[in-house]
Amino acid sequence: MRKIVAFVVSDIPKFKEALLHWARQFEEVVWFEGNGVQDRYGSFDALLAVDALTSILTDTQEAFDGLQEYQHLAQDWIFGYLAYDLKNDIESLGSNNFDGLHFPDLFFFQPKKMIRIIGNQVEFHYLKMVDDEIDSDFALLCQNICKKDEISEEKNIRIKMRIFKDEYYRQVQKMLEHIHRGDIYEANFCQEFYAEDIQVDPIKLFAKLNAVSRAPFATFLKLNDKYLISASPERYLKKIGTKLISQPIKGTAKRFRDPVKDRASKHRLANDPKERAENIMIVDLVRNDLSKSAVKGSVHVVELCKVYTFEQVHQMISTVSAVVEKGKNPVELIRETFPMGSMTGAPKISAMKIIEELEAFRRGLYSGAVGYFEPSGNFDFNVVIRSILYNSSKNYVSYAVGGAITAKAIPDKEYEECLLKAKAMREVLEG
């Protein structure tokens, strides 16, 4: 049981800043930031979980079984992530590409301290062993609101490419050959950008990336010496009672400062046959995934190919919903739909095999998911894209971007779209 105490805070932006800096003292941290984006399925503006009482950390072998048991035993809020390579626990697949980050494949923890922000109300949800610290923690946070960060700026970060442009073209061409042979009809091909022998301040990087992106599923995660700094615009899967919601993204267009050009860019995206076809293919895949668990006839497309505007880009998003039986295990729902279709392709298993063959890096947490389970079994997970990953022990920073390759893909344009998606991460790192 958790003790819940609520406070009213007048300056929420400053309080959030103080809260994230306060959180850096803990070894386990997950912070979700909605950035004020209107989310019809959202239940908070920001959420912080810190300081593990219990946890599970594992590789891919029997990972979902372990998580299912852990979630059942905890009967509490648990926070964590699912790496893309958990595909190997679901299907007979492998992950043998280069990995510079070395994140565990699955990590969840039961936080001693959880703080939720809704409007100007801050709720402290503390376990009994620490609930006498609520008042002192709140007082300390209020004192720290006006303190300035004295950590120095990162300089001279040189971003490298795991593959160069010519190699990208060759690999996309191979993927097109698979498509023309009928092996797949869409796959998400990704590439890694990285920097070695550097030290960065993850909190500062998150503040910078969040400021330029203002994404609805922004996340900061710390697991000892490993960090995720994410400006994700995409929801993977949410469960509310017996309802499931998935919101795949396929289709990206550039923003312009000129309002006329910006509206034109959005209009072009909304009416682009290729982008709509990509989106609809993934919607069909998501519908198929959800139908494994859904009550017959309950899978519906709520929104198809709607264009949403974010700070850096316009995105084409669809919303698919389903109804599941009341007693259905929540971890099983994730196992039946993971990894998300927008980051794999269709048919899903064939696409994942070809991705492994053609990509030059192990995805790890990139294109996985970060989220939480509630005590009720409800959950919410994002898609780990538009994200910087950092291993502070190895002084290794990485971000990856990708795009859907279909029969109509033009390598030049696909490469340009990758660079557009990478723009915010590169600017934040290089200044």
The answer to whether residue 294 sits within a structural domain is yes
336 is catalytic: no
- pLDDT grade for 148, boundaries at 50, 70 and 90: low
- Which of the residues 28, 234, 359, 414 is marked catalytic? 234
- pLDDT grade for 154, boundaries at 50, 70 and 90: low
Q: Looking at residue 294, which CATH number applies to its domain?
A: 3.60.120.10
**pLDDT the model gives residue 228:** 98
Give the list of residues 6+ apart from residue 406 with CB closer than 8 angstroms, or none. 179, 185, 186, 274, 277, 278, 281
153 is catalytic: no
The answer to whether residue 245 sits within a structural domain is yes
**pLDDT the model gives residue 66:** 98
**pLDDT the model gives residue 156:** 72
The answer to whether residue 149 sits within a structural domain is no
- Which of the residues 16, 87, 226, 250 is marked catalytic? 250
Tally the domains of the chain.
1
Instruction: Tell me the mean pLDDT in the region 412-427.
Output: 93
**What are the pLDDT digits (tens) for 338-354?**
999 999 999 999 999 99
**What are the pLDDT digits (tens) for 396-406?**
999 999 999 99
The answer to whether residue 383 sits within a structural domain is yes
The answer to whether residue 380 sits within a structural domain is yes
- What is the reported pTM? 0.96
The answer to whether residue 115 sits within a structural domain is yes
**pLDDT the model gives residue 140:** 96
The answer to whether residue 318 sits within a structural domain is yes
The answer to whether residue 404 sits within a structural domain is yes
Q: What range does the domain containing 16 cover?
A: 2-144+154-430
**What are the pLDDT digits (tens) for 229-264?**
999 999 999 999 999 999 999 999 999 999 999 999
- Summary mean pLDDT of the chain: 95
